[in-house]
Amino acid sequence: MTPEIPEITDSHCHLDFPDFDEDRDGIVASAHEAGVTRMVTICTKLRLEPQVRAIAESYDSVFYAAGTHPMSAADEPLATVDELVKLAEHPKFVGIGESGLDYHYTADSKAIQQESLRVHIEAARQTGLPLIIHARAADEDMARILSEEHAKGAYSCVMHCFSSSAELATAALDLGFYLSMSGISAFPKSQELRDIFASAPVDRVLVETDAPYLAPPPYRGKRNEPAYTAHTAKFGAEVFGMNYADFAAQTQANFNRLFTKAA
């Protein structure tokens, strides 16, 4: 008799990307075999929302979120709160974003990124759905805006694929937000990041792939896929000194608490 595989959720992937066009059914089936019972596929440009929604509608285990990625904020029409709130009426729409700030590649569009972020925060506030944040090389502005907006009215949030500073982690956790662990946390050079997670409350941690990007070892450099959430979670269990089944169960409870619509 084979031992039961612990259930887990890939809280952030991109199943609409062309990387999966040839074998999307197989990718979802492989995820199920690895114990990944749910996936949240993320729309990064609102004009692509119909395609992402169609994927979520095609698979019982797939949910979706939509927003304007900060790296596209200057090139896409500015989202409106009403537009995001309307999308949230769909039964499988479970989060707002990803939105955020990315000054690594797109620092020249700081102002519009910040404006877009505040729109997404207001939509999260109005819908009660969690905000999904992408943060890169923008820690001070990110902490400031999240705090300023939280003071205007509470909202829930996950720092997706968290790989920023301990200061931003603390600021997010102090607001009651969640940190999501991606394959980056399993890279050999990521000890500092593992230390940040180790000092976070385990009931505020999610796991994700960000597939097709950032595959964890032993698949690093290859196309990532939701099944590999299990590999990241095994590293996460080690970080927290837990066995895998207990850590998987904890991340499931955390996901259910934050993504109430997918629970």
Indicate the domain borders of the chain: 8-262
CA distance 102 to 182: 17
For 33, 34, 159, the CA distances from 4, given in Å and listed in that order, are 11, 11, 30
What's the chain's average pLDDT?
A: 97
In contact, 93 and 64? CB cutoff 8 Å: yes
CA distance 173 to 143: 11
Average confidence (pLDDT) over 195-207: 98
Looking at the chain, how many residues does it have?
263
Question: Is the pLDDT at 193 greater than 70, yes or no?
Answer: yes
CA distance 13 to 8: 14
Domain 8-262 has CATH 3.30.230.70: no
CA distance 248 to 233: 7
Q: Report percent pLDDT > 70 for the chain.
A: 99
In contact, 113 and 73? CB cutoff 8 Å: yes
Question: Is the pLDDT at 2 greater than 70, yes or no?
Answer: no
pLDDT of residue 3: 67
Question: Is the pLDDT at 111 greater than 80, yes or no?
Answer: yes
CA dihedral for 142, 166, 135, 56, sign (positive or negative)? negative
* 57 φ/ψ angles, rounded to the nearest 5 degrees: -70, -20
Q: Report percent pLDDT > 90 for the chain.
A: 98
Summarize pLDDT for 4-62 with one digit per residue, the tens.
899 999 999 999 999 999 999 999 999 999 999 999 999 999 999 999 999 999 999 99
Sheet holding 93-102, edge to edge: 8-13, 36-43, 62-66, 93-102, 131-136, 157-159, 178-181, 205-207
CA distance 121 to 103: 19
Average confidence (pLDDT) over 145-173: 98
pLDDT of residue 1: 42
